[in-house]
Amino acid sequence: MRVEIASEGVVNWVGFRIYNTGRSERHGCVWLSVEVRDSEFWRLEPVRTGEFQKQTTVSGRIRCPRWILPRAGGDYGGTVIYLRYIFRGSGGDFTETLEKAPAKLNLSLDTPFHHHDGSEEWDMVLTSVDLADYVAVKTLGRNGRIKVTTDSGFLPNDHRNLAYQAAHLLATTYGRKEAMNIHIEKHIPVAAGMGGGSSDAAAVLRALNRLWELNLDQATLCQLGLQIDADVPYCVCSQTAHVTGRGEIITQLPKLPPMWVVIAKPKISVSTPSILRRINYDEVRHADTQSLVAAIQRGDYDEICDSVENVLTPITSRLYPTVNHLKEQMVRFGADVAEMSGTGPTVFGICRKQSRAQHVANGLSGFCREVHVVRPVSLHTDFAQPSASV
């Protein structure tokens, strides 16, 4: 099945449509709930119950407060609209939900030391942007295996996929044996230093927490996520934060001041382990992450730009000179600062105004095919009240 949700252009209404795309005959009813969440509003409302046969659709609309309606062009900003529907009929019962998985950027990245087990200690400031994958998770109501599909030919569909690992981890931890299908609609570049795989895994953790009604708090999901990858705990939250430890200590920060971000992904892929193995802690020039944290707390755009830094950039750029070239070109075209995200090779530039960001993107289009103009966002999520702070 496939779901679409979009503004109908009518004040206070958001429309939806569910398509029956299954190969087998399905006769029965669909129970649909639409959950809309932002910082001020939370709602769970049954919208439509109706007969659902093969090659037919169920459609309808939900009334929403005007301030959370999507903007023109389907831009939902920081608002997240979750879809959850249950089918009961001859084709079997299932429950499905759709999760947004935003890309992350490292505004600051430092690694002060290695732990004895070889893992890195991190000192980072991360933010999320409105470039996102969409992860549909369907539980089938019977015992079976985990199946992962994607519209990208660059991702594995087995245990190597982080989304698969997230589903397997949660099922094993809480004794669930239900079959499930996970479909990932990719928009975040692969192997780009933007946490696409980690964000997909975090989306699966959030989705199954909701579908299975586990009521796990944010701290628990973050601890589980750390077993998958160091970026997963942050991606569970996907809100601007100061991240330390092995990636599990997350201190949320205020919303960033208004800004636009130009993202450029050159046509190369970087192996994160290969970069981390090249770190020489005797030579690393450590970043002043605290200055960036203070600038964000004050909402000072200029100081934020002055404090952006990634200690891994010299390592990656020695192997891939394109990284430094992109940084130089971004600044030349008008970005206030440019830096690499994660282990690369993606480079981002920050601009105060959209017009300047678009000018930078246009300038880069001649020698970098994958360029995006985005904004920082916060993914508002619903968790049980935490028993301990993250």
Per-residue b or e along 298-334, where b marks 16 or more CB atoms closer than 10 Å to that residue's CB: eeebeebbebbbbbbbebbbebbebbbebbebbeebb
Residue 38 reports pLDDT greater than 60: no
Neighbouring CB atoms inside 10 A of 3's CB total 18
Residue 71 lies inside a defined structural domain of this protein? yes
Q: How, if at all, do strands 146-150 and 178-185 pair?
A: parallel
So which residues are the catalytic ones? 104, 231
Per residue in 311-360, pLDDT (tens digit) is 999 999 999 999 999 999 999 999 999 999 999 999 999 999 999 999 99
Residue 279 reports pLDDT greater than 50: yes
Residue 27 lies inside a defined structural domain of this protein? yes
Closest CA to 190 of 154, 228, 234: 154
Neighbouring CB atoms inside 10 A of 141's CB total 16
Claim: this prediction has a pTM higher than 0.95: no
Mean pLDDT of the 263-279 span: 91
What pLDDT was estimated at residue 2? Answer: 54
CATH code for the domain of 282: 3.30.70.890
What pLDDT was estimated at residue 8? Answer: 41
Structure tokens at 280: 């020489």
| Last-in-domain residue among 69, 92, 115 | 92
Cα(134)–Cα(136) distance, rounded to whole angstroms? Answer: 7
What pLDDT was estimated at residue 320? Answer: 95
Give the three-class secondary structure for 214.
Answer: coil
Residue 261 lies inside a defined structural domain of this protein? yes
CATH code for the domain of 58: 2.60.40
Per residue in 236-251, pLDDT (tens digit) is 999 999 999 999 999 9
Sign of CA dihedral 214, 220, 224, 226: positive
Cα(150)–Cα(15) distance, rounded to whole angstroms? Answer: 26
Per-residue b or e along 5-42, where b marks 16 or more CB atoms closer than 10 Å to that residue's CB: bebeeeeeebebebebeeeeebeeebbbbbbbbbeeee
Q: Which amino acid appears at position 168 of this protein?
A: H
Q: What is the DSSP letter of 98?
A: E
Q: What angle do CA 186, 124, 78 make, to 5 degrees?
A: 45
Q: Which amino acid appears at position 219 of this protein?
A: A
- 380: confidence class by pLDDT, cuts 50, 70, 90: low
Residue 23 lies inside a defined structural domain of this protein? yes
Rounded to the nearest 10 degrees, the angle between the axes of helix 162-173 and helix 196-211 is 30
Residue 104 lies inside a defined structural domain of this protein? no
Cα(348)–Cα(364) distance, rounded to whole angstroms? Answer: 11
Residue 165 lies inside a defined structural domain of this protein? no
Average pLDDT, the chain: 80
For residue 76, what are the domain limits?
1-92
Q: What is the DSSP letter of 235?
A: H
Q: How far apart are the first and last CA of the chain?
A: 36
- 15: confidence class by pLDDT, cuts 50, 70, 90: low
Q: Are 128 and 116 in contact (CB under 8 A)?
A: no
Residue 34 lies inside a defined structural domain of this protein? yes
- 40: confidence class by pLDDT, cuts 50, 70, 90: very low
Cα(369)–Cα(357) distance, rounded to whole angstroms? Answer: 16
Residue 179 lies inside a defined structural domain of this protein? no
CA distance readout (Å), 175 to 5, 33, 146, 210? 33, 26, 14, 16
| Last-in-domain residue among 73, 92, 111 | 92
Mean pLDDT of the 176-186 span: 91
Residue 170 reports pLDDT greater than 70: yes
Residue 202 reports pLDDT greater than 90: yes
> For the chain, how big is the Rg over CA atoms in Å?
21
Question: Which residues does residue 52 pair with via DSSP β-bridges, in sequence order?
Answer: 28
Expressed in percent and rounded to 5, the helix, strand and coil fractions of the chain are 25, 35, 40
Q: Who wins on pLDDT, 314 or 69?
A: 314
Min mean pLDDT across 88-102, 131-145, 149-163, 270-284 is at 88-102
CA distance readout (Å), 371 to 185, 187, 272, 376? 19, 12, 21, 16
Number of structural domains found in the chain: 2
| Last-in-domain residue among 68, 92, 116 | 92
